Structure 1
Amino acid sequence: MVIENDVLRLEVSEAGGEIASLIYKKKDLEVMWQGDEKHWKGKNPTLFPIVGNTYSKDYKIDGKTYAMKNHGLIRYAILKCVKKSDDEITMELKSNEETKSQYPFDFTYQIKYKLMNDRVIITYQITNDSSRIMPFTFGLHPGFNVRHYDTGILRFACPEEATQIHIHDGVREEKVSFDHWNLSHEMIAKEQTIVYKNLKSPYVDLIMDEYKIRMTIDGFPFLALWSSDPDADFLCIEPWYGHGDFEKVDVPFEKREGMMSLSPNKSFMTSYWFEVYE
């Protein structure tokens, strides 16, 4: 499914309901990482009902053990297009026997993509179709092409006094100050994933030679930054509501940090946007 305007051409795939391609038409350049076997086959999955995974790779609900793959259900599912216009696409997944064997709740999950000039607006709606409270968390994982890492900059909207969660050599938290950092494969490789919490910036700018990307992160408690290895030319900018287990924790699934509870017949909505500019 494709929508486009004078600035952008957006293609959405049924696989995961993901962006398959985003072309910046002024320069005929692909904005989104396209995935490959060597570095990372993913592109821009959404993460529900868990970000990452539990430490043991399984969890219990009502005394029964369940397990999901890393980052939950949506990235492995086929979503259907339920609405399309010239500038908008809505993709949907309803729970089924396969999802309930991994996550025992009925739900309706929708992703809506809308183009507005140089901006892509992405809205998520998750509805609890079960008769009981549904625990979940949610995150984003968009991967952007970076053609010249040595000159790229990630600039935050305002100076930050944040907390970085180090997870590569024992879990620890550190107070850090910055307003930008130069893209560095070595820094990301050392940390495995750079995770911040308590950021103040409503958005970040990924500044590159060809163009810039401004992406909103407002309202998300955590921000992760990741690339797969030292010669992978992409950066994932990942706002999260929660996170997987960085270490072994002895708490119920619904009590993990960042987990939310959705009452029966209620919906959770969130959104973010990014725009391409020069």
Structure 2
Amino acid sequence: MNQIIENAFVKVEVSPHGAELQSIFNKQFHLEYLWQGDPAVWPRKAPVLFPIVGKVKDNQYTISGKTYSLSQHGFARDNAFTLVSATDTTLVYRLTHSEDSFKNFPYEFELDISYSIEHSILKVAYKIHNSSGTSDLYYSIGAHPGFRCPLVEGETFEDYYLEFEKAEKLNRVLLDGGLRGDQTEPVPLTNNKLPLSVNLFGSKDAIVVSGLHSERISLKSNKSVHGLHFDYKNYPWFGIWSKPGPFVCLEPWMGVADDIHAAGDFIKKESIQFLQPKAEALFTYSIELF
């Protein structure tokens, strides 16, 4: 059963399937901000990417000489989470290793995903715990929320732009079958703004960049006052994606897809995260509606 948290400003709905956001509704403006899914375009809304971000080459990887298989973005988004705590304004969901998970990912873990609201801000946190007392844990995790674009009736996708908090020189890694290719391409900004257009995506897929200085990216319109601030910190990679319109995904990543030359060694994977036995890590982001 889906759970709802709300206050005077926002109402948020979450499904136990993948602990995935289902709605971010601004009660003051009567506006839905989250993409509502469409099987003909993109059926998901805000999947959590774990234990990999993107693809591993040939959907396979090795640990200590043994080969395992994982499909794009991992299995968390397709698993049932357990609701471990709930209040009027907070929810915490948990996914734990199992005999099934060991078939594709040979590590003991607990993944807690929490949602909390304060005024018009939704805060999201990922806590990863290495449940093993003897073995290290290697993993990646990332967010993939899709936002309605346009937000307001009568506007178009091209009426919107992304505004970066700081000056950036975006250099996207061009993808090859979902893997990072050898080619890069600059993505020009004007006054820290990236105008949205169908041509940004299409056959080129996502805009994948690393090393951003900004810790806030805002989705804004040229025609209305409504949009959102997306705040994140200490994520080495960021993805921006549409298929194309009427949505845009803002994706902070602790990890990235393999490149086309990857040898498959999971422990040597680009930007792989590491936890010692019984250790844990916390990653957060937030969405402020306006």
Report TM bin, short chain.
over 0.9
> Residue 91 of structure 1 aligns with which residue?
93
Match of 1:111 in 2: 113
Give 1:55's match in structure 2, choosing from 57, 69, 73. Answer: 57
Q: Is the 8 A contact 2:60 2:264 kept in 1?
A: no
- Give the Cα separation in 2 of the matches to 1:185 and 1:210: 22
- In structure 2, give the amino acid aligned to 1:189: G
Q: Find 1:226's aligned residue among 234, 238, 241.
A: 241
Q: Which residue of the partner structure matches residue 183 of structure 2? A: 172
Match of 1:7 in 2: 9
**Counterpart Cα distance in 1 of 2:186 and 2:219:** 23
How far apart, CA to CA, are the structure 1 residues paired with 2:99 and 2:147? Answer: 34
Unaligned runs of 5+ in 2: 151-155
In the alignment, is residue 216 of structure 1 matched against residue 231 of structure 2?
Answer: yes
Counterpart in the other structure of 2:265: 252
Instruction: Give 2:269's aligned amino acid.
Output: R
1:183-229 deviations in Å (ceiling 9; x for gaps): 11111114211111111111000003361110013211111111123
Shift of 1:276: 0.2
1:134 aligned residue: 137
1:242 Cα offset (Å): 1.4
Aligned 8 A contact 2:161 2:219 in 1: yes
Which residue type is aligned with residue 95 of structure 2? L
Aligned partners of 2:111 and 2:128 also within 8 Å: yes
Amino acid at match of 2:242: S
Deviates most, 33-42 or 188-197: 188-197
Q: The residue matched to 1:254 in structure 2 has which SS?
A: helix
Q: Is the 8 A contact 1:7 1:24 kept in 2?
A: yes
Q: Report the TM-score when normalising by structure 1.
A: 0.94
AA at the equivalent of 1:212: G
Contact 1:163 1:198 in 2 (8 A): no
State the Cα deviation string for residues 212-268 of structure 1 (Å, max 9, x = none): 110013211111111123xx3000111112111131312511111110111110101
C-alpha separation in 2, matches of 1:129 and 1:94: 9
* Cα distance in structure 1, aligned partners of 2:4 and 2:162: 29
Mapped partners of 2:259, 2:63: distance in 1: 21
8 A contact 2:232–2:284 mirrored in 1: no
Identity over aligned residues, as a percent? 29
Residue 146 in 1 paired to residue 154 in 2?
no
1:186 aligned residue: 199
TM-score, length basis structure 2 = 0.90
Aligned to 1:267, which of 280, 286, 290?
280
Q: CA deviation at 1:79?
A: 0.5
CA RMSD of aligned residues (A): 1.6
Paired letter, 1:164: R
Amino acid at match of 1:227: S
Partner Cα distance (2:4, 2:264) in 1: 44
Shift of residue 61 of structure 1? 1.6
The SS at the match of 2:201 is: helix
Counterparts of 1:161 and 1:47, CA distance in 2: 26
